[in-house]
Amino acid sequence: MVEDNYTFASEFILLGFTDREDLQVMCFVLFLAIYVVTLIGNLGVIILIRIDSCLHTPMYFFLSHLSLLDVCYSSTIIPQTLLNFLVDKKVISFVRCAAQLFSFATCATTECYVLAAMAYDRYMAICNPLLYSVVMSQRFCLGMLAGAYLAGVISSTIHTASIFRLPFCWSKRINHFFCDGPPLLALSCSDTRVSEAMVSAVVGFNVLSTTVFILVSYLSVLSTVLRIRSVSGQHKAFSTCASHLFSIALYYGSSLFMYLRPSSRHSSEHDNVVSMLYSVAVPMLNPVIYSLRNTDMKNAMRKAKEKQITLKTSKPIYILLHLASPHSHSSVLSHICPILCVF
């Protein structure tokens, strides 16, 4: 008790999931595997969109930034979590805790607005195809993206300031695996109703406004698709939206459950599971969701694979042609035998 009672906490202890060493090793392996898959999947999506000219469209422009945000806020949480699995004293300083919350809230809020921008892109592509190229210009897409990042920074500033203006004087033990809003509010020894109201208002505005925007966009898309007489046309239109809708449902559902329920209903076990869903699982699943159900992404991956195979198979021929060049001063026959042995 003497260890926990400070006038003001200068550092926090992240209790995480469990104190058992055998389970901590299992959790470390699980989180490390998730983090590696998240990095490979999302960076792969970014690189694929970058190198394939067929994917240089507004939809994939926003998707590349969605993957970038997933990488950023996974990297905000998981490395610290992995370190905590390996050390006995799971300490994070006051400043680092505030920085972690700010970074996470910025990425998470920006992702809401990027998902809304992707919904608007689908609305324009399906409901107003003749105006699509005019409206969804590069300048307009950059403006939407800049607005998303600006909204993320402003919201996370309010979010973080509302929580860290409170005194944390009773305990420094955070019953969570990273510095998230609800567990931090539970530590304060002062009246947190104003801060809770501000956090709920900011999160509620961001989530509910983007949700309404997405629903209106997709209701318009649904109305347009149902008027298409061709069954194949309807299927194609729905397939372009299915992955996006699934990602939205997974991300928004867990976020709403975590932030917009009364504080009296919070429990550490449920909070850990729900937070793991939207902060760890969703970034890992997004590349899978957008790749497996997206024809353009599949075609781009196939072309990249074929190009790689072509480069590998053409390497011996390229070397032989180079050696047979009249500019080569070496004997061709002296090089052919070792080349054939290698390939």
CATH number assigned to the domain comprising residue 224: 1.20.1070.10
Tokens of 292: 């497996």
Among residues 262, 260, 258, which one has the least CA distance to residue 274? 258
Residue 319's domain spans which residues? 311-342
At 216-269, the pLDDT tens digits run: 998 898 888 888 777 776 676 676 677 777 778 777 776 666 655 555 555 556
Query: What is the distance between the alpha carbons of residues 156 and 161, in angstroms, rounded to a whole number?
Result: 8
Residues 133, 213 within the same domain: yes
Residues 282, 316 within the same domain: no
Residues 61, 181 within the same domain: yes
Count how many domains the chain has.
2
Residues 277, 324 within the same domain: no
Residue owning tokens 């699509």: 132
What is the end-to-end Cα distance of the chain in Å, rounded?
A: 70
Residues 95, 217 within the same domain: yes
At 274-299, the pLDDT tens digits run: 778 778 888 888 888 877 667 777 77
The DSSP annotation for 108-175 comes to HHHHHHHHHHHHHHHHHHHH-HHHHHHHS-HHHHHHHHHHHHHHHHHHHHHHHHHHHTS---S--EES
Query: What is the distance between the alpha carbons of residues 274 and 278, in angstroms, rounded to a whole number?
Result: 7
Who's near 259: CB < 8 A, 6+ residues apart? 181, 182, 199, 200, 203, 204, 207
Residues 165, 123 within the same domain: yes
Report the share of the chain in percent with pLDDT over 90. Answer: 30
User: pTM, whole model, 2 decimals?
Assistant: 0.80
The CA-based angle 39-98-283, given to 5 degrees, is 20
